[in-house]
Amino acid sequence: MEIRFQTKEESNRQQQEDFLKLSGAERVRSFLRLSERISRFPVKNKVDKNKDNFLIIIKPR
């Protein structure tokens, strides 16, 4: 693990460069993983997770 001290702008630029180095399929998978992790954040309003959801299930190879 590496610790770097950089500005927010530098950090954002590095993240964008790293993301753009991925192939199209890897970008989609990365986006879906991020979306799934965000959905696990605690919220005050509880919503029925199974109501009117469209599920995409990606099985690892």
pTM of the model: 0.51
d(CA 20, CA 28): 11
- Region of 52 on the Ramachandran plot (φ > 0 left; ψ -120 to 50 alpha; else beta): left
What pLDDT is attached to residue 29?
93
What pLDDT is attached to residue 49?
65
What pLDDT is attached to residue 47?
64
Neighbours of 29 (CB within 10 A): 13
What pLDDT is attached to residue 12?
94
Render pLDDT for 8-58 as a digit per residue (tens, 0 to 9). 999 999 999 999 999 999 999 999 998 999 888 887 776 666 677 777 788
